[in-house]
Amino acid sequence: MIIKTAQFVMSNTEISKCPKPEKPEYAFIGRSNVGKSSLINMLTNHSKLAKTSGKPGKTQLINHFIINEEWYLVDLPGYGYAKVSKKDRSLWKGFIKDYITNRENLMCLFVLLDSRIPAQDIDLNFMFELSKNQVPFVIVFTKTDKLTKNELAKNIAIYRKVLAETWEPIPTNFISSAPKKVGEKEILEFIEQTNKLFS
C-alpha cells in the first residue's frame, strides 16, 4: 500500500460523534510515551500528522484521520502514566473503552509495546481485556532502533514466551522503528489485506 493522502478529520470523546462507520478503521493505542505518534507519522509519511511530545499524555482525544480517502486511522489516548488529573484519566478510560468495544467498523487495534522493557502487567491486562471483549488486535514493538540486534531478539523472545502463557497462538506482532521506517511495509500490507474483509 502506498499512502497518497492523509488528512485530519475530527477529534472528540464520544463515539456517537465519530465519522459514520462506512469505511474500515484502525486504531493505535499504548502506554503513554510509547512512540505512538511517531509510528503514525512514519506510516503515513507525514512528519506532523499526529502530535509528538516528550511529555506523556499528549493525546487526550479520539483523533480520526482519513487515509487515501479509503480508511480511517485513529490515534487514541495512551493509558498508564500521564500528567493529568485522576478525573481526566477516569474519563479517558471510559470513552476509550466505549470506542474500542462499540465502534462497529474497527477492524483492528494496534497495541504498541516498548521493545526495550520487559512485559508490563498494565499491557498484559489491557490485551487480556481486549481478548475477553473479542476486540481484534495486533502488537507493534516500538523503538527497536534503540537496541542492538541481539538485545532486540532477546527481548522479543522473552515477551513472546510471556504471551504464550495466555495465548495460543500468540497475537500477530510487528517490529517497528519510526526513525528507520522499520515495519512500515509489513503494517501497511496487513491493513491493505484486512481492508478486503470490510463489508
| Count of residues making up the chain | 199
* 1 found inside a domain: no
Question: Is the pLDDT at 142 greater than 60, yes or no?
Answer: yes
Q: How far is CA 185 from CA 12, 45, 67, 82, 171, in A?
A: 30, 12, 15, 31, 19
Residue 16, domain CATH: 3.40.50.300
> Model confidence over 62-102: pLDDT tens digits?
999 999 999 999 999 877 655 555 655 554 567 888 999 99
* 77 found inside a domain: yes
d(CA 53, CA 112): 16
- Tell me the residue type at 136: P
Task: Tell whether omega for the bond before 169 is within 30 degrees of 0, i.e. cis.
Answer: yes
Q: Which of 21, 194, 47 is nearest to 99 (CA)?
A: 21
Count structural domains, the chain. Answer: 1
Query: Where does 58-120 have alpha helices with state H?
Result: 86-102
Q: What is the structure's pLDDT at 24?
A: 98
> Model confidence over 178-191: pLDDT tens digits?
999 999 999 999 99
Q: What is the structure's pLDDT at 52?
A: 53
Host domain of residue 129: 6-195
d(CA 47, CA 51): 9
**E strand or H helix at 161, and its extent?**
helix 149-164
